[in-house]
Amino acid sequence: MKRALVTGGAGFLGSHLCARLLAEGYEVVALDNLYTGSKDNLAAFAGNSAFSLVERDVCEAKTDDFGAFDEIYSLACPASPVHYQARPLFTALTSVKGILFCLELARRDGSKLIHASTSEIYGDPLVHPQPESYCGNVNTIGVRSCYDEGKRMAETLVADSIREYGVDVRMVRIFNTYGPRMHPQDGRVISNFAMQALTGRDITVFGDGSQTRSFQYCDDLIEFFRRYAAVGKSGIREFFAARKLGAPVLNAGNPAEFTILELAQKTLAAIPGSKSKIVMRPLPSDDPKKRKPDISLAKELLGWEPEVALDEGLAKTIDYFKTRI
């Protein structure tokens, strides 16, 4: 039986990944301190002897406490601006110490490591859409920096661990991803708008709503993870060396781009009878003006494209939030 470790396994994406790995016959260990994750997300695996949860801060985790894994997925890190900004030093350290722990474990046992990086690497991008070769436009001292720079440092640690020790790592720059099991009070835009529209509260559009995002449904991302993990180490090395990228890094996102105002209108349209109205609130500082992935490399290497359109994914997500009111 193959063994996988998922740090951040009790979170929104981590729990979907655990479910997929269990369905594929893996033994799965989730490591999570439950900062933004929840045991509720793992309820479906209670009683499954192939699953276990280690409740621990990844910054305190010791490799000696763990046996060998075939695959390690590094997801531990708060992802919502509200939560990562509430504890900025913790956020930055989680990114750095979390990936160091995973790199050490992967190096010791020759495991494959798949690291959840982010489109925030690109900051407020000056290139649109964003290809992996774009180095980004990031403020080092703003309120988003704890997350952005923590994740950028994690990418550097990965790239140097590959160069120095030949560790088998693949990085995924994840663009805004949503779906069932997002926390209803998560603070991110899809959960906020859906919960507001379902409970008749004002829908809070920040700024004038002209900023854009590209929304990816969670199932598309999990499929991406699995295809990326399935590529052999030499295939990965050759593909990225031929494209002169310093390390294996792929964008994962849905290139369909929407303004935040359009998202608010779509959310209202998906909930007929909602009494909510759209209101404008101040734009948080350093909020990226636009974001859209160039996914040509993922198409080429993995034959992957997102399949779930926003209207379909939004309807499934709203159905989930109805159960959480």
Tell me which residues are annotated as active site. Answer: 147
Start-to-end Cα distance in the chain: 39
Applying CB under 6 A, which of residues 192, 214, 216, 251 lies at the interface with ligand UDP? 192
How do beta strands 216-217 and 278-281 pair?
Answer: unpaired
116 binds, among ligand NAD, ligand UDP, none (CB under 5 to 8 A by kind): ligand NAD
Distance of closest approach, residue 112 Cβ to ligand UDP, in angstroms: 28
Q: Could you list the beta-strand ranges (E) of the chain.
A: 3-7, 27-32, 51-55, 71-74, 112-118, 168-174, 177-178, 203-206, 212-214, 216-217, 249-252, 257-259, 278-281
Q: Which lies closer to ligand NAD via its Cβ, residue 11 or residue 125?
A: 11
Total of residues contacting ligand NAD (CB under 6 A): 26
Q: What is the DSSP string of 221-251?
A: HHHHHHHHHHS-HHHHHHHHHHTT-SS-EEE
Residue 184 found at the interface with ligand UDP (CB under 6 A): no
Residue 10 found at the interface with ligand NAD (CB under 6 A): yes
Question: Which range touches ligand NAD (CB under 6 A), out of 32-40, 227-235, 268-276, 313-321?
Answer: 32-40
Residue 35 found at the interface with ligand NAD (CB under 6 A): yes
Q: Which lies closer to ligand NAD via its Cβ, residue 59 or residue 283?
A: 59
Cα angle at 212 between 92 and 247, to 5 degrees? Answer: 45
Total of residues contacting ligand UDP (CB under 6 A): 13
Distance of closest approach, residue 276 Cβ to ligand UDP, in angstroms: 12
Distance of closest approach, residue 164 Cβ to ligand UDP, in angstroms: 32
Residue 286 found at the interface with ligand UDP (CB under 6 A): no
Residues 202-241 within binding reach of ligand UDP (CB under 6 A): 204-206, 211, 213
Q: Is 206 helix (H, G, I), strand (E, B) or coil?
A: strand
29 binds, among ligand UDP, ligand NAD, none (CB under 5 to 8 A by kind): none
Question: Which range touches ligand NAD (CB under 6 A), out of 27-35, 131-139, 229-237, 314-322?
Answer: 27-35
Cα angle at 177 between 15 and 304, to 5 degrees? Answer: 95
Residues 115-174 within binding reach of ligand UDP (CB under 6 A): none
Sheet containing 112-118, strands listed edge to edge, beginning at the edge strand earlier in sequence: 51-55, 27-32, 3-7, 71-74, 112-118, 168-174, 249-252
Residue 177 found at the interface with ligand NAD (CB under 6 A): yes
Q: Which lies closer to ligand UDP via its Cβ, residue 94 or residue 111?
A: 94
Site residues, ligand UDP (CB under 6 A) = 81, 176, 188-189, 192, 204-206, 211, 213, 260, 284, 287
